[in-house]
């Protein structure tokens, strides 16, 4: 290493600038039918070529616990009393992110976005109110321009979301800076469900989402 100068990387990042406040029906009967409506909404918003059904996990799916636990990195939150999401969307396509944002708003549901699950407070997968998780572990493509080094954090399982949202302090930072210093483009889904890249979001927003 050492001699090649890293080229800027092209990163694939989906961020949502959404903060939802929630009001969830308290009776269990009405909340389960609300959940069914929410699932139906997700299906109708997913791209027809990328069905969302294989990306939806509720406590009734046998792999729900495994999917949830896989990215709980702070074991203080890996307990039976930790609040659990009523649903996890393991997005496989950008239209699934869009569906989660649009349907979460429509039904006033709290959404938590999880990338690598490394934040110490569990903010990406725990909430004090009923919530669902948009899990981004499948969307972690990171393309380099040319065969070069990408500065990153020390821990290999930190996700794309965390790295590009401001982390990425690592062994190469003295020479090359942080991961965020090397991002040349990003994709995000805004609150209206528009999928934007650097050009369409504009430099101000690009600056803001890359944590600089």
Ligand X SMILES: Cc1cc2nc3c(=O)[nH]c(=O)nc-3n(C[C@H](O)[C@H](O)[C@H](O)COP(=O)(O)OP(=O)(O)OC[C@H]3O[C@@H](n4cnc5c(N)ncnc54)[C@H](O)[C@@H]3O)c2cc1C
Q: Is 154 an interacting residue with respect to ligand NAG (CB under 6 A)? A: no
What is the contact mask toward ligand X in residues 42 to 81, using x (rule: CB under 6 A)? -------------------------------x--------
Query: Would you say 60 or 174 has its CB closer to ligand NAG?
Result: 60
In 80-193, DSSP assigns E strands to: 87-90, 110-114, 131-135, 142-144, 188-189
Q: Is 193 an interacting residue with respect to ligand X (CB under 6 A)? A: no
Rounded least distance, CB 19 to ligand NAG, Å: 28
Query: Would you say 28 or 53 has its CB closer to ligand NAG?
Result: 53
Which pair of structure tokens corresponds to residue 103?
């349907």
Q: Is 200 an interacting residue with respect to ligand NAG (CB under 6 A)? A: no
Q: Which of 154, 15, 135, 9 is nearest to 63 (CA)?
A: 135
Q: Which of residues 19-58 bind ligand NAG (CB under 6 A)?
A: 53-54, 56-57
Query: Would you say 34 or 68 has its CB closer to ligand X?
Result: 68
Query: Would you say 35 or 187 has its CB closer to ligand X?
Result: 187
Rounded least distance, CB 10 to ligand NAG, Å: 30
> In this structure, are residues 100 and 42 in contact, taking their beta carbons and an 8 Å threshold?
yes
- Residue 35, contacted partner among ligand X, ligand NAG, none, CB below 5-8 A by kind: none
Rg, C-alpha atoms of the chain: 18
150: CB partners within 8 A, 6+ apart:
6, 9, 142, 144, 179, 182
Strand partners, 64: none
Task: Characterize 192-209 residue by residue with b for buried, 16 or more Cβ atoms within 10 angstroms of its Cβ, and e for exposed.
Answer: ebeebebeebeeebbeeb
210: exposed, middle or buried (C-beta count within 10 Å: 0-12, 13-18, 19+)?
buried
- Work out which of 32, 44, 66, 123 binds ligand X, going by CB under 6 A: 123
Residues that bind ligand NAG (CB under 6 A): 53-54, 56-57, 60-61, 69, 75, 78
């Amino acid at each position: 290493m050492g001699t090649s100068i890293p080229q800027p990387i092209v990163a694939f990042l989906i961020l949502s600038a959404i903060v939802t406040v929630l009001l969830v029906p308290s009776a269990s009967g009405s909340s389960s039918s609300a959940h069914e409506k929410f699932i139906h909404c997700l299906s109708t918003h997913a791209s027809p070529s990328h069905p969302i059904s294989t990306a939806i996990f509720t406590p009734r799916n046998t792999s729900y616990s495994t999917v949830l636990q896989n990215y709980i990195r702070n074991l203080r939150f890996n307990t039976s009393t930790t609040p659990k999401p009523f649903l996890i969307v393991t997005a496989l396509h950008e239209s699934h992110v869009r569906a989660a944002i649009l349907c979460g708003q429509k039904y006033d549901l709290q959404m938590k976005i999880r990338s690598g699950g490394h934040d110490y407070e569990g903010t990406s997968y725990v909430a004090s109110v009923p919530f669902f998780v948009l899990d981004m572990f499948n969307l972690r493509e990171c393309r380099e321009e040319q065969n070069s080094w990408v500065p990153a954090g020390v821990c290999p399982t930190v996700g794309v979301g965390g790295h590009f949202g401001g982390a990425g302090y690592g062994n190469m930072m003295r020479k090359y800076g942080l991961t965020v210093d090397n991002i040349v483009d990003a994709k995000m889904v805004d609150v209206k469900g528009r999928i934007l890249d650097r050009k369409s979001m504009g430099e101000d927003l690009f600056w803001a989402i890359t944590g600089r």
